[in-house]
A and B are shown apart, each in its own frame.
Chain A
Amino acid sequence: MPKLLTVIVASLLASGPADDHLLQGARAFRAGRYAEALVEFKVAEKMGAGPDARAYAAAALVKLDRPEEAVALFGPKPAADPVLEFYRALACYQARLFTCADKALEAAMGRFGPRVAEEAKALRAQIQRTLSGEIQAQAVDWYLQHGEDALQAGQPGLGLLYAEEARSLGGRRKDCHRCAEANALQAKAKAAAAATEARR
């Protein structure tokens, strides 16, 4: 009887295999081995580590310079942890989704640790500089095209973000360049995102 109890207690005390992969991923990430970290976090997610693991994998994608995949993996909702929100902002920034990046940083600004807060501040300054000039019509066209492409590729979340960026940038111009089209694309992307969500 005591032996059996010991075995049960020991097995229950042992950390789950998903956590082992999270820890392996953390070590790899810290060492700059982002491809390895990505695999570990994805395995952890498959083993039941939940949506957190997905966000960690998205952070690894940011480091691997695959921002669009990272944006799609982060999903539309803000991350609970400010560090993850910083990475979501980075993903948006690298995918040229400047408004998305700035919104994410603004919302999490008071919650960062001192070092990340400095980085976030610098990133916001860069975004402001990028958006300070005149917005060219071609830029808006580019976002609309990318939004359509993302929708066609079955990535409505990403399509929505591009449509929002197109609307935001178009709205900064006096002629509100292709604002109506951006609105229509937003609606289309939202409907597609809702349909995808319902299928899950």
Chain B
Amino acid sequence: MKATIAAAAFLAVAVLPASARAEDATSARGEVLEALESQARLPDARPTLPDQASDRAREVQSTIAFGQKGAAERAANQAARAAKDDSATAAARKAAETAAERAGQKSQAAASERRAEEVRQGLPPSKPNRGKQD
């Protein structure tokens, strides 16, 4: 009888917990995969094929015009000024985009675009919406 109880206890310790542990590990991984799946979406930024020459040009342009850590706000002003000249419109937009990317401020980038567009249309550029959500 004692031997039977001991054998049952051994089985309980050796076999059942092992499967329970395996289940726990599986459920932890399952939780992680579910979390990953819930956040699986495309990034907002769409990378393009690199172009060494233009990458370098953008770098130089950004460094000269806005400094190494140029912010989108300054880019917007620069873009707006450049936008007065029609021929510079594309360059202005590119400058705004580049600096906005560097600043990592999507909302500011949108504002930059908007202000540049306003200037192109002959309207006074709207003021930055500091501290407020769009």
What residues on B are CB-neighbors of A30 within 8 Å?
34-35, 38-39
Contact B49 A15 (CB under 8 A): no
Query: How far apart are the CA atoms of A29 and B36 in the complex, in Å?
Result: 7
A165 to chain B, nearest CB (A): 10
Residues of A within 8 A of B24 (CB): 15-16, 19
**Is A87 located at the chain interface by the 8 A CB criterion?**
yes
Known: A25-B32, A90-B43. A115 touches B37 (CB 8 A): yes
Question: Is B28 among interface residues, defined by CB-CB distance under 8 A?
Answer: yes
Chain B: how many interface residues by the 8 Å CB criterion?
36
Say yes or no: is A94 at the interface (Cβ < 8 Å to chain B).
Answer: yes
Q: A13-B17, A90-B43 are in contact. Are A141 and B36 (CB under 8 A)?
A: no
Q: Mark B34-56, 1 if CB is under 8 A from A, else 0.
A: 11111111110111111111110
Interchain nearest-CB distance for B115 vs A (Å): 26
Is A74 among interface residues, defined by CB-CB distance under 8 A? no
| A177: B residues at CB distance < 8 A | none
Q: Is the CB of B53 within 8 A of A63?
A: no
Chain A hits for B48, CB < 8 A: 96, 130
Binds B, one of A116-124, A178-186, A188-196: A116-124
A152 contacts B by Cβ under 8 Å:
no
CB-based nearest A residue for B10: A5
Given the interface pairs A26-B32, A29-B32, A126-B46, the reply to whether A136 lies near B40 with Cβ below 8 Å is no
Q: Closest residue to B6 on the A side, CB-wise?
A: A1
- Distance in Å from the Cβ of B131 to the closest Cβ of chain A? 22
Given A19-B25, A52-B29, A87-B36, A139:B51 Cβ within 8 A: yes
A22 to B27 CA separation, bound complex (whole angstroms): 10
Query: Is B34 in contact with A5, judged by CB distance below 8 angstroms?
Result: no
The proximity string for A residues 17-31 relative to B, scoring 1 for CB distances below 8 Å and 0 otherwise, is 001001101110110
Which of the residues B18, B25, B29, B40 comes within 8 Å of A119, measured between beta carbons?
A: B40
Pair A136/B36 contact, Cβ less than 8 Å: no
Within 8 Å CB of A23, what residues of B?
Answer: 28, 31-32
New contact pairs (13) apart from A13-B21, A26-B35, A133-B49, CB-CB < 8 Å: A5-B13, A8-B13, A15-B25, A15-B28, A29-B39, A52-B32, A90-B42, A95-B47, A115-B40, A136-B49, A142-B51, A142-B52, A142-B55
Residue B20 lies at the interface, judged by CB distance under 8 Å to chain A: yes
Q: Can you give 15 A-B contacts (C-beta < 8 A)?
A: A5-B9, A27-B35, A29-B36, A30-B35, A30-B38, A41-B32, A84-B33, A93-B47, A96-B49, A123-B42, A130-B49, A133-B49, A136-B49, A136-B51, A141-B52
Chain A contacts for B88, CB-based, 8 A: none
Which residues of A lie under 8 Å from residue B47 when comparing CB positions? 93-96, 130
Q: In this assembly, does A9 line the interface, its C-beta being within 8 Å of a C-beta of chain B?
A: yes
Q: Are A94 and B43 in contact (CB under 8 A)?
A: yes
